[in-house]
Homo-oligomer: A and B are copies of this chain.
């Protein structure tokens, strides 16, 4: 195994979703460093359709939380009792306190006029969460159930979509990393048959 792959695998393997943070505010320079890595991602016709908004202002964070929770309440009313139970077991409800409690919210928007803008932006989010881990910042990709409500609350113009919000900070989340299936179990060779065939 190359040294580079070893290090990359180590970052990817230890990185887990973090929803609880210490109150210490990380320097914005760390966020910009991670974003510079993300901006190296490929994109359809090199349109680089990612746009970012760093939110530290408590007033703006409250506005985001309010818009997000309005959408989550609607979503939780529409889902089946079974699904709601599953989400509750994972600790998920319509309440999103992390949107106020995280020291930084990183809003990721996409230029919806670019070809394949959604795949491009999410590929870059893959770069981003690895880079955030490398600088010691915990994150979670929270996608509001009604992203349009949040986009409008933030005054982001119509030609953009709000793709996700990453609450950021130093990790204070006691939860372990959720287990992952090894690649071979999810891979076929030449034909869609038995996994690992």
Contacts and interface: CB of A to CB of B under 8 A. Distances in A.
A182 B86 CA distance: 41
**What is the count of identical protomers in the complex?**
2
Contacts of A22: none
A134 B8 CA distance: 8
B119 A52 contact: no
A51 B187 CA distance: 6
A183 to B, nearest CB: 4
A62 interface: no
A163 B130 contact: no
Contacts of A192: 53, 154-157
A8 B11 contact: yes
Given A32-B184, A187-B35, A178 B46 contact: yes
A67 to B, nearest CB: 14
Nearest to A87: B45
A180 to B, nearest CB: 5
Contact of A7 (B4, B16, B44, B180): B4
Nearest to A178: B46
B130 A60 contact: no
B60 A191 contact: yes
